[in-house]
Chain A
Amino acid sequence: MRHTLSVLVENNPGALSRIAGLFSGRGFNIESLCVAATLDPTLSHLTLVTSGADLIIEQIIKQLNRLVDVYKVVDVSEGEYVEREMALIKVKAEAETRAEVLRIVDIFRCKVVDVSPKTYTLEVTGPETKLKAVLELLRPIGIKEIARTGTIAMAREKKTV
């Protein structure tokens, strides 16, 4: 099962490598990892996507909590939550495919952020499933390069991390 964890961590040097090291050292899987500042300058917010059986996820959460720098861990995927990821996609855009690319851009509400004689660069934002769908449609046209941010997530309504 795929789980999205929201982790608040002290803004101390080495905190991120401790978390990354925990995953590699214990053989847990990281599908994506995103870190950024929060409103509180002493804390960073980390969104971590991982997958595993329930017992593994329980271990991951406990092990994270055990780190001295970790303030709070919430499995947001246990309740309702929103998640977003952004990707930049450079796709082949030659005479015969330009229209098709633009149609996809339109349907998925992407943005064209750069144009060259042979390529379009698109910006796509959405949950992972949407990114997957866009990529699937663009692939036959010819993707030259992609850059993704990894997932960020937030529990809905009252639940805060």
Chain B
Amino acid sequence: MAKMAGKQMVVEALKREGVEVVFGYPGGAIIDVFDAIDKDGSIKFVLVRHEQGATHAADGYARSSGKVGVCIVTSGPGATNTVTGIATAYMDSVPMVVITGQVPTALIGNDAFQEVDIVGITRPCTKHNYLVKDVKDLSRILKEAFYLARSGRPGPVLIDIPKDVQNGKAEFAYPEEIELRSYKPVADPHIKQIERACALIEQARKPIIYAGGGVVIAGAHKELRALAEEISAPVAMTLMGLGGFPGTHPYSLGMLGMHGSYCSNMAMANTDLIIAVGARFDDRVTGKIEAFAPMAKIIHMDVDPTSIQKNVKVDVPIVGDCKKGLSKLLKVLKEGGRDQETWKNQHKAWWEQIRAWEKRHPLSYKKDSNVIKPQYVIERLYDMTKGRAIITTEVGQNQMWTAQFYKFDEPRTLLTSGGLGTMGYGFPAAIGAQIAFPDKLVVDVAGDGSIQMNIQEMATAMEQKLPVKIVILNNQFLGMVRQWQELFYEKRYVATRFQVVPDFVRLAEAYGAKGFRATRPEEVDQVLKQGLETDGLVIMEFAIAREEGVFPMVPAGKATTEMLLV
């Protein structure tokens, strides 16, 4: 067999993995790979303006499409710039392959120009990573990387390739199948555990389904819905779980946790059975752990055994893929022979209680005719897009208002940094999503702080002709931090007030995009309409109530029932 250069192996592997687009930024240590990609001509290359943008774009591409996102950057500073994006993908289990150039093997360890131990730096925030020392290993490593990234609990995998390995030659031996004796993700849940779970479900009077991002990742939304409808159980979702169950469904309680709805937090606190699916009992969800769901038995289904029994004691652990797990669970339940009426009757009192909570404190905000309320902007955005857009968010209040007031019915329509909470995520992620879905409406909901973290990617969006719509909720504050300062630091707004905020409309124009601004409530509709109907990249800026807060709110460390309400 003819020998192949390492750089061509990379191209060949990308093609075999069905990769159509890569995001990246060049440099001396990766120039050869870029050259090979260009010569080959079959893979689209998206040049970003900052390597963090490349990782978030690959991430947005992956989250929206379910495919592996790929990003290629140079060594040293190029590689370190990807770390935030990698950690973001790691925390939210996003399949991603990051290829970094490295100085020639002979120089590794010598503090050579642009050398950094990126494998060492990213070890705690990758699912796995490799430094390729010999070109003979490269094809196998590429195959493994894609396999690891997408199988089991997905995650980012980094491959660091020294320049001489990129140019060295070896046989291209791309394995068909991967057999890693030390890596055997469990997919098929144990039937005994499923049966135990069913027994608990049959006894429960006040069950609740607690759905997380695992449902979305596993593509288990249909199965989840079937389960909820079968047993007549309410569904509360984590931020990452939104869209995993239709937000408009009568059984949806919306989000739970720190900024969850009153109803879902009360239901969680009073339930006698939690059916947790692809969720991990994050502290933003549980609040003070000792006070969390004191009466509840817990069934916990997750593909990653480390998520189970990490934060709470679980009665029935089910290790496995959520899609498979839920269908098995449903099947066994149905074999039990109860009809839906029986389930409904069994949970009648529970539903009455839930509806009462919903009535007592529905998600709401104080309307105002003088100043734009951010919640209103999101509500109108929802109405005008009919919930059919892919929404990305930045981090902060903008993210929480979006989670609360935009109803996500479909999986993979909300892309947001949940685990790491990365400001600057939303816009590059929107670029990735728009590339995956050129014909869909993609909207980034941003704060004025977050958007400035990766605003340079406007150039990327323009270059790629991506019609991303950016909604900036401008409060001239780092709003979420300001909210904490307001509530817990006697309103000492330290380092959260911006004294200089750019004119976003003119900034849009500077990049060749369009910009619209609303400063009064009656302008909101007009600006949204104009913005959504204008072709190409658009910024819609809304001057919102400066000191608006996100409510309900569970103060950190408090029980989830100790909510501050509007």
B181: which of A18, A66, A71 is its contact (CB, 8 Å)? A71
| A contact residues around B308 at 8 Å (CB) | 62
A41 interfacial contact with B, CB 8 Å: no
Distance of B97 from chain A, by nearest CB (Å): 14
- From A9-17, A88-96, A135-143, A148-156, give the one contacting chain B: A9-17
| A contact residues around B331 at 8 Å (CB) | none
Task: Identify which of residues 299-351 in chain B touch chain A, using a CB-to-CB cut-off of 8 Å.
Answer: 304-306, 308-310, 313
Distance of A69 from chain B, by nearest CB (Å): 6
Contact indicator A59/B309 (Cβ below 8 Å): yes
Contact indicator B180/A68 (Cβ below 8 Å): yes
Contact indicator A21/B305 (Cβ below 8 Å): no
Contact indicator B305/A62 (Cβ below 8 Å): yes
Distance of A89 from chain B, by nearest CB (Å): 36
A21 and B124 in contact, given A62-B306, A63-B306 (Cβ under 8 angstroms): yes
Distance of B557 from chain A, by nearest CB (Å): 18
B116 interfacial contact with A, CB 8 Å: no
Contact indicator B123/A17 (Cβ below 8 Å): yes
Contact indicator B305/A66 (Cβ below 8 Å): yes
A107 interfacial contact with B, CB 8 Å: no
Contact indicator A55/B128 (Cβ below 8 Å): no
Distance of B60 from chain A, by nearest CB (Å): 25
Distance of A123 from chain B, by nearest CB (Å): 36
| B contact residues around A5 at 8 Å (CB) | none
Distance of A21 from chain B, by nearest CB (Å): 6
Contact indicator B309/A21 (Cβ below 8 Å): no
A13 and B182 in contact, given A25-B124, A66-B305, A66-B306 (Cβ under 8 angstroms): no
Contact indicator B182/A71 (Cβ below 8 Å): yes
Contact indicator A59/B182 (Cβ below 8 Å): no
| B310, closest chain A residue (CB) | A59
B120: which of A9, A17, A59 is its contact (CB, 8 Å)? A17
Tally of B interface residues using CB under 8 Å: 21
Contact indicator B306/A18 (Cβ below 8 Å): no
A46 interfacial contact with B, CB 8 Å: no
| A contact residues around B181 at 8 Å (CB) | 71
Cβ contacts A10-37/B at 8 Å (1 or 0 each): 1001100110010001000000000000
| B contact residues around A71 at 8 Å (CB) | 181-182
B127 interfacial contact with A, CB 8 Å: yes
Most buried by B among A17, A18, A62, A71: A62
| A contact residues around B305 at 8 Å (CB) | 62, 65-66
User: Please, how many angstroms separate the alpha-carbon atoms of A10 and B180 in the complex?
Assistant: 10
B148 interfacial contact with A, CB 8 Å: yes
| B contact residues around A10 at 8 Å (CB) | 182
Contact indicator A68/B183 (Cβ below 8 Å): yes
User: Please, how many angstroms separate the alpha-carbon atoms of A58 and B120 in the complex?
Assistant: 26
B182: which of A17, A55, A70 is its contact (CB, 8 Å)? A70
Contact indicator A69/B182 (Cβ below 8 Å): yes
| A contact residues around B124 at 8 Å (CB) | 21, 25
| B contact residues around A59 at 8 Å (CB) | 306, 309-310
B228 interfacial contact with A, CB 8 Å: no
Contact indicator A68/B148 (Cβ below 8 Å): yes
B131 interfacial contact with A, CB 8 Å: yes
Contact indicator B123/A21 (Cβ below 8 Å): yes
| A contact residues around B183 at 8 Å (CB) | 68
| B181, closest chain A residue (CB) | A71
| A contact residues around B131 at 8 Å (CB) | 13-14
A68: which of B119, B128, B306 is its contact (CB, 8 Å)? B128
| A contact residues around B127 at 8 Å (CB) | 68
B123: which of A18, A55, A62, A65 is its contact (CB, 8 Å)? A18
Cβ contacts B174-193/A at 8 Å (1 or 0 each): 00000011110000000000
User: Please, how many angstroms separate the alpha-carbon atoms of A14 and B128 in the complex?
Assistant: 10
| A contact residues around B182 at 8 Å (CB) | 9-10, 68-71
| B contact residues around A18 at 8 Å (CB) | 123
User: Please, how many angstroms separate the alpha-carbon atoms of A25 and B310 in the complex?
Assistant: 15
Distance of A4 from chain B, by nearest CB (Å): 21
Contact indicator B309/A55 (Cβ below 8 Å): yes
Task: List A residues at the B interface (Cβ < 8 Å).
Answer: 9-10, 13-14, 17-18, 21, 25, 55, 58-59, 62-63, 65-66, 68-71
Q: A63-B306, A68-B183 are in contact. List 8 more A-B contacts (CB 8 A).
A: A14-B131, A21-B123, A55-B309, A59-B306, A59-B310, A62-B306, A62-B308, A68-B127
18 pairs, CB–CB < 8 Å, chain A vs chain B: A10-B182, A14-B119, A14-B123, A14-B129, A17-B120, A55-B313, A58-B309, A59-B309, A59-B310, A62-B308, A63-B306, A65-B305, A68-B128, A68-B148, A68-B180, A68-B182, A69-B182, A71-B182
